[in-house]
Structure 1
Amino acid sequence: MNPLISVIVPVYNVEKYLNRCIDSILNQTFKQIEIILVDDGSTDNSPIICDEYCDRYENIKVIHKKNNRVAAARNDGVKIATGKYIALVDSDDWIEPNMLEEMYNKAEEFNTDITMCDFRKVGVESEYTVSQPIREGYYDRKMIESELFPCLIMFENIEFPPTISNWTCLFRREFLIESDLFYDEDIHYCEDSIFGSKAMYNANGFYYMKNKYFYNYFYNPNSTTSTCNMKKWDSYLIINQRLKEYFKDSKFDFSRQIKINMLYFTLNFLGEIKNADLVLEEKRKKCYEIFNDEHVKQIFKDFKLPNVNYKLKLILLLIKYRIDFVYSMVFYQ
C-alpha cells in the first residue's frame, strides 16, 4: 500500500516524550501513512526507541545522522518521502487521532497546496488554544494574494503570519519539490517563519480549518533562557536578508513587512537578554549593541510606527532613538 501522507518527525534527545508522539501518529484514523523518524544525532535513548518502532512497523523509516538541527532533518525527510502530502510533527508534541484524515479530505476536496489547522499549547500546569486572525475556508490564488500577502511575512501588529507553525500544515509534496521549497539549513532559529512565507507565496490553493485544534504543542512555561546566544541574532539577520532577496522582484511590496519582521526579532532578542543569566552590566552592554546595530537602525528609515499599544509603542520609540540606557533601567533591573 503506497502512503498518501508522509509524516516527518525530527528527533533529538526526546526519550521522555517520543513514544507519545509516535503513538499519536500510529493511532490516526487515516492509515495510508508513512512515518519518517530523523534521529538528529541524539545522545539519549531516542535512537533505540526509533529503531524499536521501525522493527515493529513496516510503515516507519528511520534516518540516523550527525546533529545538524531541525531544518536539515526536515529536508532529509522530505527527500525520501513518497506520500502525496507532507506533514511535520515535532517529537515532543502529539496530534489528535482524526487530524490527518480530516486534513487530507480537505486537501483533496479543494486541491490545495497547503491545508492548515489550529493547535493547542499544552503546558505542565495549563493549556490554551491558538487560532489565526484570518477567515476560515478556501483561498484560491487571487484570494491568497489579496487576503494573505498583506500578512505573508508579518502582521501589522508585530505578530507572526498564519503559516508560522509549519506543523499545523499539510503540504502537497509535489508542490514543495516543484517550488524548490526546502528549509535553509544554515538558519537554526525561527526557520519556520521564512519557510512558511515562501510556501504561501507560491501556493495556488490554501484551506484554513479554523478552530480545528488537531495539533498539541507541548511547552514548559517554567523554563527560562539561561544564556543569550548571539547565534540566534545572527540567524535573525540572515532570515531578514534572505527575505529581502527572495521577494525583491515581487509585484507586491513586502518591504514594510520585512522591516516589521526585523522589529519583531529585535524585541524578541531584547527579551532574551532580560532572561539571560548575566550580570546587569553585561545585559546593558548587549542591549547597547542591539540598539546600535545597523540592521536595527535601518528599520526606522521612512518607517511609520505600527499601531500598537502604548507600552509597546514606547519601547519602539526607545529603540528608534537608541535610548538604550532608559530601556535598560526600566526592563533590566
Structure 2
Amino acid sequence: MCITKVPLISFVVPVYNAERTLHDCVRSLIKQTFGNIEIILVNNCSTDESLGKCNELAKEDERVKVVDIAEKGVSAARNRGIELATGEYIAFVDADDWVDSNVCELFADLNAKYDYDLFCYSAQYHKKSKTTTTYLFGKDIELLSQNQKEELQIKVFAPQAPIFSYKTNTRFVGSAWGKFYKREILLKNNLRFATETIISEDVLFNTLSLDNFQRIGYTKRCFYNYEQSSDSAQNRYRPNSDKYFMFVIEKIQEWLQNTGKDQRFVDAANCLFVHYLFGILKEDLFHKNNRMFFVTKVSLLKIILNENWCTKILQRTKKAYFTLLEIFLVNLLLNKKYWTVSIFLTCYCKLQAFVKR
C-alpha cells in the first residue's frame, strides 16, 4: 500500500481497559477504503491487556502508532493524540465503538472540493439488539450557512431546542466523535480538552471550538457506530460529579459572556445546565450505589437547592425545552419539596437500574 508522507486523517483512539473491544475498533479503521490515514492509539493507565493489544495491532499495520501515557482520563489521551498527530485532519474514536469502512473515502472526495475546517457525519447507537439512528440535520449540507452553524452550536446544548424545526434525538452533537477537525485550527487556537473535568469534556471542547470553524460540512449518512453498554458513562455512579458539572457550567457561562451570544444560546445553555443538575441528582446523590443514609441525601439536596447557581438555572427554565416529567421535577425542585424529590428520585433510579439489567 502506498502511503504519502502526510496523512490526510489522523485517528486518535483513547484506550483504557479496552482489550475486549479494541480489535474491532481498530480493524474498522485499518479497513478504510481510503488508505492515507494514521491511527494513534493512546493507552492511558490500562490495567488489563490493552497495551499488549495495541502493540499487536501496530505490528499488523505500519499506520498504527502506539503511545503509553501515565496521565489518566480521556481528555489527557485526546490531547496527547492532538500533539502527536501529523494528519491534516483529526478524528476521535472511542475504543469500544467502530466506524464504517468508507467514511474516509467520502470525506476525502468532498474535502478535495470544499477544504473543510470541520466535517460532521451521523451516528447509530447500538444497545443490545436495538439500534437508534440519529442525525444533526434533515439532509446533507455541503457548506453550512451562518444560521446553520449557529443551529449546530445551539444543538450542542439542547438537541431538541424548540426554536428549530429539525431536532435531534440524542446529545451526540457535542461528542468529539463523528467529526473531522482541521488540525491546523486546533493547534493555532490552542484548542484542547479540559483535564479538570471527567464529565462533558467533549461538550465543552466543541462549545469553545466551533467559533473557530468557518467551512463546515455535514452528511446525513451514518458512519459512526456507538456501542452503548450497561456500564457506559451515563449509567455509572459518578460521586462528586457536582464539581465537574460546575466546572463546565462556569466555563460555558464565561464563554457566553465573552462572545456576547444572543438569548437563543443562553436559553439552550440553561437547558444544558438543568440537565447537569439532573445528572448530579441521578448519577451521584440518588444513584443506587450511593450508600449514604436517606436522611443524609435529603440534607445534601437542601444544600444543593439553596446554592445560588442552582436557584438561578431553575428560575430561568424554559418549559418548551423539557419533557412533562422533567417539568414536573423542575417544579418540585423550585418549590423546595425536598422529601418528595428525594423519594421520587430514589424510586426513579431504582427503576432505571432494574430496566437496564
What is the TM-score when the length of structure 1 is the normalising length? Answer: 0.90
**1:207 aligned partner, one-letter code:** G
Shift of 1:244: 1.8
Q: Does the CA-based 8 Å contact 1:153-1:160 persist in structure 2?
A: no
2:61 pairs, out of 43, 57, 60, with 57
Aligned equivalent of 2:330, options 279, 303, 316: 316
1:276 alignment partner, one of 288, 298, 302: 288
Residue 169 of structure 1: CA displacement?
0.5
- Please report the RMSD computed on the Cα atoms of aligned residues, expressed in angstroms: 2.5
| CA–CA separation in structure 2 for the residues paired with 1:197 and 1:233 | 20
Cα pair distance change 1:124/1:303, threshold 3 Å? closer
Q: Which moved more, 1:233-242 or 1:305-314?
A: 305-314
- Which region of structure 1 is more displaced relative to structure 2, 188-197 or 314-323? 314-323
Q: In 2, Cα distance between the equivalents of 1:179 and 1:117?
A: 23
**1:247 maps to which residue?**
256
State the distance in 2 between where 1:148 and 1:228 align. Answer: 28
Q: Residue in 2 aligned with 1:263? A: 274
- Given candidates 227, 230, 247, the residue that maps to 1:218 is 227
Amino acid across the alignment from 2:85: A
Report the equivalent of 1:192.
202
2:27 to 23, 38, 56: 23
Decide whether aligned partners of structure 1 residues 162 and 250 sit closer, same or farther in structure 2, where only a CA change above 3 A counts. farther
Please say if residues 152 and 200 of structure 1, whose CA atoms lie closer than 8 Å, have aligned partners that are also in contact: no
Instruction: Find out whether 1:80 has 2:84 as its counterpart.
Output: yes
1:8 aligned partner: 12
Equivalent-residue separation in structure 2 for 1:59 and 1:96 (angstroms): 18
Query: Is there any run of 5+ residues in structure 1 with no aligned partner, and where?
Result: none
Any conservation in 2 of the 1:121–1:216 contact (CA below 8 Å)?
yes
Say which is worse superposed, 13-22 or 178-187, in terms of deviation: 178-187
Question: Which 4+ residue blocks in structure 1 deviate beyond 4 angstroms?
Answer: 157-162, 222-226, 301-304
| CA apart distance, 1:281 | 3.6
1:332 matched residue in structure 2: 346
**Residue 125 of structure 1, CA deviation:** 3.3
Aligned residues: 331
The question of 1:90 aligning with 2:94 is answered yes
1:79-128 Cα offsets, whole Å, 9 max, x none, are 11111111111111111111221123233332221111111111233222
Equivalents in 2 of 1:302, 1:93: separation in Å?
37
- 1:141, 1:204 within 8 Å by CA — same for their partners in 2? no
Q: 2:23·2:57 contact (CA, 8 Å) conserved in 1?
A: no
How has the CA–CA distance of structure 1 residues 282 and 131 changed in structure 2, closer, same or farther, with 3 Å as cutoff? Answer: farther
Q: How far does residue 133 in structure 1 lie from its aligned partner after superposition?
A: 5.0
Is the CA contact (8 Å cut-off) linking 1:225 and 1:276 kept in structure 2?
A: no
User: Match of 1:233, as an amino acid?
Assistant: D
Q: List alignment gaps of at least 5 residues for structure 2.
A: 163-167, 348-357
Deviations 1:181-202 (A, max 9, x none): 1111111111111111222222
Q: Deviations over 1:48-98 (max 9, x none)?
A: 111122233221111111142000100100111111111111111111111
CA deviation vs aligned residue, 1:274-331 (integer Å, no higher than 9, x gap): 4332354444344334333332112145554444332221111112222222112223
**Cα distance in 2 for residues equivalent to 1:70 and 1:28:** 24
Structure-2 change in CA distance of 1:199 and 1:318 (3 Å): same
Contact 1:54–1:62 (CA<8 Å) still a contact in 2?
Answer: yes
Q: Contact (CA 8 Å) 2:155, 2:173: kept in 1 or not?
A: no
For the residue of structure 1 that corresponds to 2:68, the secondary structure is strand
State the alpha-carbon separation in 1 of the partners of residues 287 and 169 from structure 2.
21
Q: Give me the whole-angstrom Cα distance separating, in 1, the residues matched to 2:42 and 2:256.
A: 31
212, 218, 233: which one pairs with 1:208? 218
Report the AA paired with residue 20 of structure 2. K
Rate the CA distance shift 1:131–1:159 in 2: closer, same or farther, 3 A. closer
How far apart are the structure 2 equivalents of 1:83 and 1:58? Answer: 15
Amino acid at match of 2:326: L
Moved more, 307-316 or 130-139: 130-139
Tell me whether 96-105 or 304-313 shows the greater mean CA deviation: 304-313
The range that moved more, 188-197 or 6-15, is 188-197
